[in-house]
Amino acid sequence: MPRMTMIEAIRSAMDVSMARDDNVVVFGEDVGYFGGVFRCTAGLQQKYGKTRVFDAPISELGIVGAAIGMASYGLRPCVEVQFADYVYPAYDQIVSEAARLRYRSNGQFTCPIVIRMPTGGGIFGGQTHSQSPEALFTHVSGLKVVVPSNPYDAKGLLIAAIEDPDPVIFLEPKRLYNGPFDGHHDRPVTAWSKHPLGEAPDDHYTVPLGKAEIRRQGSAVTMLAYGTMVYVAEAAAEEAGIDAEIIDLRTLLPLDLDTITASVKKTGRCVVIHEATLTSGFGAELAALVQEHCFYHLEAPVVRVAGWDTPYPHAQEWDYFPGPKRVGEALLEVMEA
């Protein structure tokens, strides 16, 4: 299989989908002529024309609202919100219209749209270019929420999302766009082009929504992570010398609860890791589900490791992220309990 960065994998997913289905359209801020601020759509307008890949005004509400109208009449829009931090003007359209359309119309109309958003920190973007708002969408019935951690999954999940009959929020960790994140040293891995996780087929394939992947087998503790934090979990387990089982959730909604509970019942311990702020973050839902379904198997309380409860601190970016040190301390805590 050819090797791709996540940017190339996402572009390939849209390319494959547009070639297979004339109803797939791509638009957003700067995605047409320029090819997107991160170049994820580079070359697509030249290949498919300005009626299928085009630039939109700087209005997230308008972008998503137009996509909902298109979807309700048979198109399959895959739109880009330039940064996840910019999605808030469109939140009402996503929650009140996209997520509700199938139900309020008794199935007469559906909303097969994908909203792609670069998410998270790692590029020193400051408070308005680094947020991780996934919990705002996992709370909304009618949506699906996806966070890939590698190019193979990114392409397969995006194709599956485009083909899905309902709205999908597709969050792309920008720290992983050009290579894997070295969880040990908080920097990109330079040998990404040779990394097996960078391999992805050129042609059509899907990774099913709602299915997690066990990235590392283990028996001492279960680590639940997604996006960039998968690499932090791996680094922390290696540095602590703990036989941890690491689960890459991939899809937050619907959640693969079966894989999670089977692992926790085996290990008896659980550490949850995410980049977003701690309070009311998605880790709280994960911890509650583990406690609810695995209570009599737990040997220690579930521990969460997350970002600080503060607006994003530009000058302290690498301290804000859960790193191997903080995650390693959590591992030791649950092992000693």
Alpha-carbon distance of 98 to 304, in angstroms, equals 31
Question: Is the CB of residue 148 less than 8 Å from the CB of residue 157?
Answer: yes
Alpha-carbon distance of 57 to 282, in angstroms, equals 32
Closest CA to 224 of 288, 144, 157, 320: 288
Backbone dihedral region for residue 313 (phi beyond 0: left; psi -120 to 50: alpha; all else: beta): beta
Residue of 129, 184, 185, 204 marked active site: 129
Record the tokens describing residue 123, joined without a space. 């590029």
β-bridge partners, 188: 181
β-bridge partners, 303: 271
Residue 193's CB is within 10 A of a number of other CB atoms, namely: 11
Active site residue 293: no
Q: How far is CA 252 from each of CA 212, 224, 282, 285, 311, rounded to the nearest angstrom?
A: 9, 11, 8, 10, 23
Residues with catalytic roles = 129
